Chain A
């Protein structure tokens, strides 16, 4: 379990991390999202003990990272942005070195073999790391994080540099690991985070602007629940039928695919019209070839959220960090309704 409280990191006058707090329980898979330079890697470096925070505390499984660094670090497996590889060693030497460095108690042979199989670096085991391609180096980096079977895995952009097949493999690996380990994953590939992580923490310019499950985020920002339906039906009648359904605010014809007409149906707030559409179409014997609810993807949510002024969205906004904000904005626990108004304005642009 990781507890981060009021983390602040100053680089001279530049506040890279502004009061970030969160708690991650055992077994969770959490995604760290944010633009480049937002402070994700800095936060991860602070959690793993590479950097020290200007103020705030980090607790890993009950051990404070500054008071009891050795115990805390024993529970962490870290893959930084640039895998810390010794180029002049072979993969075998390197993994053995990390095994010794972490003072692992597990049986050396079987444990290393298991990891090598998991990450699929068996056939380059005796090659110098200098001679490996980026993808393989990345895999060796992941392997080193796994040595010692730490409770917590912190992976900074683990799939960068991998080819699509490898990305899928690693993603499956992470999901698999997530069953027995706590995982913090940072990535720019939103679909990956959406696929693997239960919970998402969004960081922008050092501020933490969201911390909830992907579905919660999606439904909160998703005023636009339009339903896309393709039916084989006479267009005018179908449009009229759809408009007559309770809860429907608007219907647009958006395309013609073979014989089916595609409609975009806007329901009023909070109305679920999919079922009504299906039932009515069935009763009129109009085959539906496609029916889906267009919820905002994580991409859309992310882009909307990072375009806002992060100070306004900060869920840990604290009085003395608010010097840039106008005084009528109260400290926010969650995204304020005012921002939803901004979001609806941006809707028209999509």
Chain B
């Protein structure tokens, strides 16, 4: 599973897809953060509603390639004839995608630190993580 995780994670960054997703997320959410910050609201409502939408979009982009690429290039034959449990294969891929996802949504944590005057970040990060896992599970 570790081997698969490493490989898939790397492949997100050898192709433009990993960088593209991160950059777009950071840019746009940064913009919304700026809006929120200038309004002075500690809960950052705009950022989070935007995050929600962004997640809906990037999760499928991250995950749809995972198995279909393998099927198309017939590399699934390698994975399925290797002495590794199917569960490991699935988990390895899941964690790779989730890591990239976490990197994208983790920007929220950064914002929260910047606003650290008022609310401790715990429940929001928890919310973001939970949401991510929930959506990924759905995907």
- The contact sample of 26 A-B pairs, CB cut-off 8 A, is A45-B77, A49-B81, A50-B77, A50-B80, A70-B84, A73-B81, A74-B83, A76-B81, A78-B81, A80-B74, A84-B74, A85-B73, A86-B11, A86-B73, A86-B75, A88-B14, A88-B15, A89-B11, A98-B82, A100-B2, A100-B3, A101-B3, A102-B83, A102-B84, A103-B83, A103-B84
A97 at the interface (CB under 8 A from B): yes
Across the interface, which residues of B come within 8 angstroms of A76, CB to CB?
81
A82 at the interface (CB under 8 A from B): yes
CA distance A97 to B79 in the complex (A): 11
Residues of A at the B interface (CB closer than 8 Å) are: 45, 48-50, 69-71, 73-74, 76, 78, 80, 82, 84-89, 93, 97-98, 100-103, 144
B139 at the interface (CB under 8 A from A): no
Chain B contacts with A in 54-85, Cβ cutoff 8 A:
73-85
Please tell me which one of the listed residues B3, B15, B73 contacts residue A84 in the complex, with CB atoms under 8 A apart.
B73
Contact A70 B85 (CB under 8 A): yes
Across the interface, which residues of A come within 8 angstroms of B73, CB to CB?
84-87
Q: How many residues of B contact A (CB 8 A)?
A: 22
CA distance A97 to B2 in the complex (A): 10
Across the interface, which residues of A come within 8 angstroms of B15, CB to CB?
88
CA distance A82 to B71 in the complex (A): 12
Contact A97 B77 (CB under 8 A): no
Across the interface, which residues of B come within 8 angstroms of A80, CB to CB?
74, 77, 81
Residues of B at the A interface (CB closer than 8 Å) are: 2-4, 6-7, 10-11, 14-15, 73-85
Across the interface, which residues of B come within 8 angstroms of A144, CB to CB?
78
Contact A97 B83 (CB under 8 A): no
B19 to chain A minimum Cβ distance, whole angstroms, is: 14
B76 to chain A minimum Cβ distance, whole angstroms, is: 8
Across the interface, which residues of A come within 8 angstroms of B82, CB to CB?
73, 98, 101-102
CA distance A98 to B85 in the complex (A): 15
A39 to chain B minimum Cβ distance, whole angstroms, is: 17
Residue with the greatest number of chain A CB neighbours at <10 A, chosen from B2, B4, B82, B84: B82
CA distance A71 to B85 in the complex (A): 11
B24 to chain A minimum Cβ distance, whole angstroms, is: 22
CA distance A228 to B58 in the complex (A): 75
Contact B77 A84 (CB under 8 A): yes
Across the interface, which residues of A come within 8 angstroms of B6, CB to CB?
97, 100
B106 to chain A minimum Cβ distance, whole angstroms, is: 25
Across the interface, which residues of B come within 8 angstroms of A69, CB to CB?
83
A237 to chain B minimum Cβ distance, whole angstroms, is: 66
CA distance A86 to B82 in the complex (A): 15
Across the interface, which residues of B come within 8 angstroms of A89, CB to CB?
7, 11
Across the interface, which residues of B come within 8 angstroms of A93, CB to CB?
10
Residue with the greatest number of chain B CB neighbours at <10 A, chosen from A78, A82, A86: A86
CA distance A152 to B84 in the complex (A): 17
In chain A, what residue has the closest Cβ to B81? A48
CA distance A87 to B72 in the complex (A): 12
Report, nearest first, the 9 A-B pairs whose CB atoms are least far apart.
Answer: A100-B3, A84-B78, A74-B83, A73-B83, A48-B81, A84-B75, A70-B83, A84-B77, A101-B3
Given A50-B81, A88-B11, A103-B83, A97–B74 Cβ distance below 8 Å?
no
Contact B83 A71 (CB under 8 A): yes
CA distance A102 to B74 in the complex (A): 18
Across the interface, which residues of B come within 8 angstroms of A103, CB to CB?
83-84
B29 to chain A minimum Cβ distance, whole angstroms, is: 28
Please tell me which one of the listed residues B3, B14, B80, B85 contacts residue A97 in the complex, with CB atoms under 8 A apart.
B3
